[in-house]
Chain A
């Protein structure tokens, strides 16, 4: 019977530690973003205010909204492109027999863990020659290639669960392969598409190395770069404003994640490990 108590204590301790571990930095971020000066740390009162948020949005020189806009445009474009490209690829792999049916997806799996640095320098050189540096395509192309393997595996795992008899029946009825994919397979694997979309979207928002190297100013830099380069006029970091910017990105992402966590979890566990 003693074991029951040990277990109960472990659960309580675990829950407290888990909650603090996960939430403390986030709460601290929100808290600092809402305080004017950090006087409360020196014993002064807490001064709650929205001025940090007002500042980062109204101060055009910070370009926070530009970074945010760039990130959203780039990530959304990449997600749609990847779904389309990986969707056709996953359909071929799950429905046809052809040389490379096994090698190609396994190769893709290996590619998804290559270090970005191993291609970043070369990409910089070719993109400089093509005058692509500091444009949206400068990031859209590499991001599409970089995230396609992830989406491919997520979609393979969804497509392979749809019975092939469905394809056969549609073929007999005279449907083309393209229409089968777009009108039967895609709608039937909507959760898979959402899941791949979200994983790719978040990966693009997250990426830093390519973005630092391949873009140079607010016209193409993403929010990750903006937050990385954020600095005050005199070298000192304006923590309140920095944390307000961080919250501005983080809060919508957290809400998105919490609402769609089912899809994200299935994407992470299928694409990454469960296969």
Chain B
């Protein structure tokens, strides 16, 4: 029996070893490597030198760094809140039985399926001063003057947020819809017998029972939004005047300018920030039960 068990353990490790190897080589070692790099002055064409936490100390003194952190957290808070509200509304809508439901369910995945770089270009066109649908609409309906969406810090913030909400709401909706489907119908029937209003049923049945799915979706989306790169990079490039530079974009700029030490320090900071959420994510749901 003992021998069989040892053999089993060996087979198990053998089967899982390709997975562990590739994760070790291309994710874990690079993260450690990034941390080590962050302790060096490592700039192209200059001799590399160990400087301890100097890169971090320098970053903390830099207003660019604080601005990017501020933008990233503000963007995360606003876009995750908006997509949660929309996600709940869409999920509730899709749970109802009505003509057109299967049509909505079908088109829901479209924004999710479009690559982010492409959806960023799509929205860039939507916001374009001369050719954008938004300004075209403002123009033909005479509801207001054309807006320079991507030209001001304020406009760019909302432009990015709306485009992100568009892209990520389908995912939120799907997760919450899956959550809604676990709520037993009897609860609602009982509440109807008790003459509870629609709003009360939502508040006292739907929301509490949806909470586990909601918490997981929120944590996941928060972590995902904090690391945002591609949408912003394509839509505004971090502009105007660096006002929409996310932490990932800041790090990326250091890398392409050849300053690997500082870029690595920025990367480690965003890594730690996201890591808190990935830790919460694992704790939040009974993932262990599936195993």
Flag if B171 contacts A268 (CB, 8 Å). yes
Flag if A113 contacts B178 (CB, 8 Å). no
Flag if B271 contacts A18 (CB, 8 Å). no
Cβ-based interface call for B233 (8 A): yes
> What is the size, in residues, of chain A's interface with B at 8 Å between Cβ atoms?
105
Residues on A with beta carbons closer than 8 Å to the beta carbon of B58: none
Chain A binding surface SS class:
helix
Flag if A106 contacts B288 (CB, 8 Å). yes
Flag if A98 contacts B8 (CB, 8 Å). yes
Give the contact-size bracket for chain B. 35 or more
Cβ-based interface call for A73 (8 A): no
Given A18-B90, A125-B260, also A213-B252 (CB < 8 A): yes
Flag if A41 contacts B224 (CB, 8 Å). no
Least CB distance, A227 to chain B, in whole angstroms? 5
Flag if A110 contacts B281 (CB, 8 Å). yes
Least CB distance, B255 to chain A, in whole angstroms? 5
Tell me the number of A-to-B contacts counted with CB atoms below 8 Å: 322
Flag if B98 contacts A116 (CB, 8 Å). no
CA separation between A144 and B23, bound complex, in Å?
9
Given A121-B37, A265-B109, also A114-B275 (CB < 8 A): yes
Using CB atoms, name the residue of chain A closest to B248.
Answer: A117
Instruction: Name the residue among B112, B131, B170, B286 with the largest chain A CB count within 10 angstroms.
Output: B131
Residues on B with beta carbons closer than 8 Å to the beta carbon of A265: 109, 174
CA separation between A206 and B119, bound complex, in Å?
10
Flag if A21 contacts B110 (CB, 8 Å). no
Least CB distance, B129 to chain A, in whole angstroms? 11
Flag if B108 contacts A239 (CB, 8 Å). no
Segment from A44-52, A55-63, A241-249 that makes contact with B: A241-249
CA separation between A28 and B131, bound complex, in Å?
10
Segment from B26-34, B49-57, B73-81 that makes contact with A: B26-34
Residues on A with beta carbons closer than 8 Å to the beta carbon of B145: none
Complex interface residues of chain B between 84 and 135 (CB less than 8 A to chain A): 89-90, 93, 96, 98, 100, 103-104, 106-126, 128, 130-131, 133
Cβ-based interface call for A196 (8 A): no
Flag if A110 contacts B174 (CB, 8 Å). no
Cβ-based interface call for A135 (8 A): no
Contact digits for A236-275, partner B, Cβ 8 Å, 1 yes 0 no: 0101001100100110011011100100110011001111
Flag if B175 contacts A272 (CB, 8 Å). yes
Flag if A275 contacts B113 (CB, 8 Å). no
Flag if A41 contacts B11 (CB, 8 Å). no
Using CB atoms, name the residue of chain A closest to B215.
Answer: A273
A-B contact pairs, 20 of them (CB 8 A): A14-B93, A24-B133, A28-B133, A88-B18, A93-B16, A97-B8, A105-B287, A105-B291, A117-B227, A119-B267, A121-B264, A126-B30, A144-B26, A208-B234, A209-B252, A213-B252, A224-B117, A243-B122, A253-B113, A261-B106
B contact residues vs A (CB 8 Å cutoff): 5, 8-9, 11-13, 15-16, 18-20, 22-23, 25-27, 30-31, 33-34, 37, 89-90, 93, 96, 98, 100, 103-104, 106-126, 128, 130-131, 133, 136, 166, 169-171, 174-175, 178, 197-198, 213, 216-217, 220, 223-224, 226-227, 229-230, 233-234, 247-248, 251-252, 255-256, 260, 263-264, 266-268, 270-271, 274-275, 277-279, 281-282, 285-291
Given A119-B27, A119-B267, A121-B34: 6 more A-B contacts, CB < 8 Å: A15-B98, A19-B103, A88-B18, A99-B9, A208-B233, A209-B248
